[in-house]
Each structure stands twice: as structure tokens, then as C-alpha cells.
Structure 1
Amino acid sequence: MRDRLFASVFRPVLLAVVAAMMALLGGCGDDEPVIRVDLNRRDKLVAPQKQEAITYAYLPQYSHTVSFQRHRALLQYLRETTGLPLRQIFPDTFDEHIKMVERGEIDISYSNPFVYIKLAKAGATAFARILEPSGKPDFQGQIICRKDNPTIKSIEECRGKRWIAVDPRSAGGYLFPLGLFYDHGIYLKDFEEVEFAPGPGGKQEKVVLGVHAGAYDVGTIRKGTLDVVAEKVHLDDIRVLAETRSYPGWVYAARKGLDPAVVEAIAQAMFALNREGGQACIHASQILDSAGIRGIIPAVDADYDPVRELANKLGLD
């Protein structure tokens, strides 16, 4: 019974398979040409090599989103102009940025001058510096407080208060103001507490928000930060208590060992961004405005000697 059931179900299937095979074999008649394959002649297939990216990093002064938005157009311009495969990466902290340059993981560093003098000790070389929106190649720090704080009307009244700064290696957001406090006879021990903005990136904004919320009495930021955070806080609530002297501005540095031809190509493309005249200059202005800078000019290591002098005064290594 089971054999008859097997035959009735599967015999049609077997016949169909046999018929298909016969049809295929029928196509291989004697009149078909024979194609001989010489297996001794072989072409070597080589997988395409992915071109290694040149990494570019903005010291995490602001959030990663702001860093990306500010430098996206500049990076695209540099790629198109130089033909180099530049890729922006995003360290979470100032210390991580420094270590990545030291390890050769960041090729082109865009950093503040205090971080640069640290990188220079590891062999990095300054090749360009920015012009601030003011048109000057230097910048300042600011000390801020709430406008309605009745206990702070002058720098001297910061003594005994709660201070929030950007980062121990922040120039405008900590070290420049620290030098100003020193000039007024106020030292770290004279504050009730000194805190640094928490978390990765966005530290300048966090200082302003901390002061605005009343969590801290005074904060220190780089000049220009208030414009960046204008949509997040009511700036009418903030008072700029004092500004520091000017110091050399943010700098582009190449890591130790980076091909000089690569550095030269990037530098020349940066210097070619010209705001004056013509349609190309309109494009240049858009790129620079997005980055929050006026222009890019040549730099050498000696430009940052005033920062080294301040570091010595503050007892920094």
C-alpha cells in the first residue's frame, strides 16, 4: 500500500526531473564548439585598496554637533581643493584630543594655544592660525556672572565664590582668566570651589548654563561664546564682569611625522580662502562664517611664546 502511494505521488516528479535533464543533455550535441580553458594562464585579482583618511579634529570646545556644523563646509572645501581624503573626528575631552595627537591618531589638530604648546612638546608643528571675527589673530577670555547677583560687582568680589570653568586646559575658558585673577591677587585657594564643566564636548555652553541657572556664582569662557549660546539662554541675564588681555589665537598644527607635502597642500588651500571680491570670495566667506572665523593666516611656533610665558607664571608644565 505504501509503495503504491509513493509511486503515485513521486513518480510524476521524477519523470519531470528526468525530462529536464534530457533536455539539457540534448543541448550538448556534437556540433557544439568546444571551448578549452588554459588553467596555467591566470590573472591575479587585487582587491582595491581603501585610501587612508587624513584625520582632522576640532578641540571639543563646543558640542560635537556644533563642531561638525562649524567645520563641515571647510572640510568639504579642503577635500575638493587638495584632493586629500580628510575626515573630521571628535575627541570627547581636551586630554583625549592631546593623547590622540601624540599617538598619531589626529593628523591635523585645531586647538587653543595652551593645548598647542602641549602638542608642540610631542612634536606637533604649527602651520596656520585663525583671524578672529574681529579680524585680529588673537582672542580673550571673559569672566561672567548673573546680572542680578548683588554680591559681585568687580573681580575682587569673586573671592570666596563658586567658580565654574571650561576645562583645566581651556585657554579662554580657564587659563587666561586664571592669569587675570592672579594679577588681582586672587588664587585658586581663595574660591569656595572651582569646578569644570562636566561631560564630553559642549563645555563652553555648560559654563554659561551653570551660571545662568545660579548653580555657580562666576564662570569663565572664551570671548564669543555668548553669541554661540544666544538661543539657549537669555543673555540679558548675564553680565560680562571682566575680559582678559589678548593672547595668540587658535592654531592648526600637524602631528609629528605627517607628510610635509600634505601639510603644505592643506595650508595653501586654507590661505587661499579670500573674502575680497568675486563669486569665489562669496563662497569663501560662507565657509569662514560657518567656522566662526574671519580668515586663516600662516603661523610659526614662536607666535605662541606669550602663552608659554603665561603658563610659566601659572606654574604649569
Structure 2
Amino acid sequence: MAKYVCTIILTLVALVLLSCGDDEQSVKVSLDKRREIAYRPQLPAITYAYLPQYSHTESFKRHQRLVEYLSEQTGLSIRQVFPDTFTDHVTMFGEGKIDISFSNPFIYVKLANRFGARAMARIIEEDGRAEFRGQIIARKDNAAITSVEDCRGKSWVAVDPSSAGGYLFALGHFVDHGIGLKDFREVVFSGGRQENVILGVYAGLHDFGSIREGSLKVVEDKIDINQIKVVASSRWYPGWVYAHSPKVPQEVVEKIRAAMLDLDYVHNPQHRALLDAARFVGFVPSDDRDFDPVRELRVKVGLDLE
């Protein structure tokens, strides 16, 4: 056995020597000086997630300044995380991977029902309201759709089955007008992206679409949004909400909420800049009762929140 091992070693040495050409110098490697590379685990942080109604790039661009501000004001380490879909957002919250959720009111009610999420603040939209609504849109040159009734038998593209402004508010509006899901030729979803709904309508791939009010601004550098018309708007519903996991200590919740409520859009230019990036102008306190209208909508359209 020893002879066999010795033969292998000699063979390997010979191969190394033969691999050096006539003009090549062999390099002596010393293992006397070594540097240990230590594994550095990610430090614990409060995780913050924006429901992915836009691309991750857009989500980061809108919220990173706000995340940095909250970290500075509270002294907490807060890190933005990026679910790929609405379903991922819900799943990650349930798995404890999201501590602070910024979501539409329908997703909030799901999180509250399933995992004990609790509302901490609602945003004030750019129009000064703490509510928002959905819009039904079509191409301006589509003469076949000028009213809600004209949508019967047509192709509808919506954001996601759990999108509030991009689907559920519009569905509730249709139901109020005696129109149900069976009355459309098809209902397809855009993968959770408001942009995709607008582009699908603009390109003529679908007769009409549903988006949250304000989303047209997101694509104004890509298409001529004057070619899109608003056919109808839904009623107003409670706005987007920040909610926390029941695992987050109450003192941490209060620090974050206080920092949110301290933002001054009118008198502080730095605050205005970060809020402009996020596309809202401030916060109001909120609790679970604010979202009873969403629970009523769920009953109206026959959707399950579990």
C-alpha cells in the first residue's frame, strides 16, 4: 500500500514539473502566512416591505429615503425587503420575514385575519386624502367603451386578485351596477404590476383595465397617457396602511409610528423630498376598525379573506 501511495505522489510531482515550459519559472507557494475569512451573518433588523404593485426598482426608489429616515429617527436598524408577488408578501409576513408591512387595505385585512397584524398608520395621498379609489380605464379612441355598462362582454386586465385599487374596488363598482364576473369575456391579471395593466390597455391587448388612481403617472415617460381615458372611478376606501407583526415589541411600534407622524411635508424641505419620492404627503394614526368598509366589500363581491 505504501509503495502504491508513493508511486501516485511521484507521478503527480512529475506532472507538475512537466507542466512548466522551458521559459517558465516555477512559483514557490508559502502557506506560512494565511488570512482567515470569517463569515459575517446579516445583523438583526426590522424588516420593511412595500406590497409589490410596482417593480422592485420602483419600490426601492420610492421608499429607501423613508426607510433611512425611520432608522435615523428611531435608532433602529430597518431594512427594506422585496417580495416578488402579493402572495409572497402575505406568506413572508406569516413566516416572520416582514415586520412592518406597507400594503393596500385588502391585503392588510388578510394579514390581520390570518396572522394578527395590527394597523399603525395610514398614508395621506398626494390629493390630501387618507383614502383612495380605483379607476376603470380604456384607450381614448376605443369608442366601444364609454361607460361601465359597455364593459360587459369585454376583456378586462386587472393587477392581481388581491389588488384593492387595481381589481377589488372596480369589481365592487361593477357589482353595484349589476355586472358580475360572468359578464366579462375574460378577466386576466398582470402579475401584480399597475404598469402592465396600463401598457396592456394602451397596446390594445385588452379592452379595458383597472388600476389604482394615480398610477398613470408611473408610465408617463413610456407612453402618451393622454391616449388613456378614465371610464369610471370607484367609491373611496381607507388608504394604504402600515401594519406591524404582533411579534414586534410595542415600544418599537410606538417609536416608528411617532417618527412617521413627525414628518412635516409643509415646513421641512428634507421631509418633503422623501415624501415626494414615496408619492404621499404624510401619515394619520390608524387602527383595525378603519378597514371595516373593506370587509363589507369582501362580502359584497364574494371573496374570501382567509
* Length-normalised TM-score, structure 2: 0.85
The equivalent residue for 1:113 is 105
Could you tell me which runs of 5 or more consecutive residues in structure 2 were left unpaired when the two chains were aligned: 1-38
**Equivalences for 1:137-152 in 2 at 5 Å?**
137-152=130-145
**Residue 268 (1) aligns with residue 258 (2):** yes
Given candidates 210, 217, 220, the residue that maps to 2:207 is 217
Q: Which runs of 5+ in 1 are unaligned?
A: 1-46
* Cα distance between partner residues in 1 of 2:194 and 2:128: 22
Q: 1:233 aligned to 2:223?
A: yes
Is 1:91–1:97's contact at 8 Å kept on the other side of the alignment?
yes
**Aligned equivalents of 1:163, 1:283: Cα separation in 2:** 41
Matches within 5 A, 1:53-72: 53-72=45-64
Shift of 1:86: 0.5
Q: Match of 1:301, as an amino acid? A: D
CA RMSD of aligned residues (A): 1.3
Q: 1:89 aligns with which of 72, 81, 91?
A: 81
CA-to-aligned-CA distance 1:43-93 (integer Å, 9 cap, x gap): xxxx99864011000000111111000001101111111111111010010
Distance 2:242 2:223 in 1: 31
1:312 is paired with a residue of what secondary structure? Answer: helix
- 8 Å contact from structure 1 (residues 104, 256) kept in 2: no
Q: Is 1:187 matched up with 2:174?
A: no
1:247 to 220, 228, 237: 237
Where does residue 166 of structure 1 map in the other structure? 159
Cα gap change, 1:206 to 1:50, in 2 (>3 Å): closer
CA distance in 1, matches of 2:80, 2:95: 17
Q: Answer yes or no: is the 8 Å Cα contact 1:55–1:86 preserved in 2.
A: yes
Paired residue secondary structure (2:169): helix
Q: 1:98 aligns to what?
A: 90
Give SS of 2:44's match: coil
Measure how far apart 1:258 and its partner are: 1.1
Q: Match of 1:314, as an amino acid? A: V
d(CA) in 2 for partners of 1:215, 1:49: 47
- 2:119 aligned counterpart, secondary structure: strand
Report how far residue 111 of structure 1 moved. Answer: 0.1
Separation of aligned partners in 2, 1:205 and 1:232: 10
Residue-pair matches, total: 265
**Which residue of structure 2 lines up, in the alignment, with residue 177 of structure 1?**
170
Contact 1:155 1:242 in 2 (8 A): yes
Q: 1:290 aligns with which of 249, 253, 277?
A: 277
Counterparts of 2:42 and 2:187, CA distance in 1 = 47
Q: Look up the match of 1:315.
A: 302
In the alignment, which residue of structure 2 is the partner of 1:52? 44
- Aligned-residue identity in percent: 56
Give the equivalent residue in structure 1 for 2:248: 258
Match of 1:13 in 2: none
Q: What SS does the aligned partner of 2:47 have?
A: strand
Shift of the 50–93 alpha-carbon distance from structure 1 to 2, 3 Å rule, reads closer
SS of residue in 2 equivalent to 1:105: coil
SS of structure 2 residue aligned to 1:153: coil
Code of the aligned partner of 1:188: L
Alpha-carbon distance between aligned partners in 2 of 1:170 and 1:85, rounded to the nearest angstrom: 30
Counterpart AA for 1:162? S
| 1:38 matched residue in structure 2 | none
- The structure that has the greater radius of gyration is 1
CA deviation digits over 1:265-301, x for unaligned, max 9? 1111110001233xxx111111111100011111000
Q: The residue matched to 1:287 in structure 2 has which SS?
A: helix
Partners of 1:71 and 1:100 in 2: CA distance: 19
4+ residue runs of structure 1 moved beyond 4 angstroms?
A: 47-50
- Secondary structure in structure 2 of the residue aligned to 1:148: coil
What's the secondary structure of 1:241's corresponding residue? strand
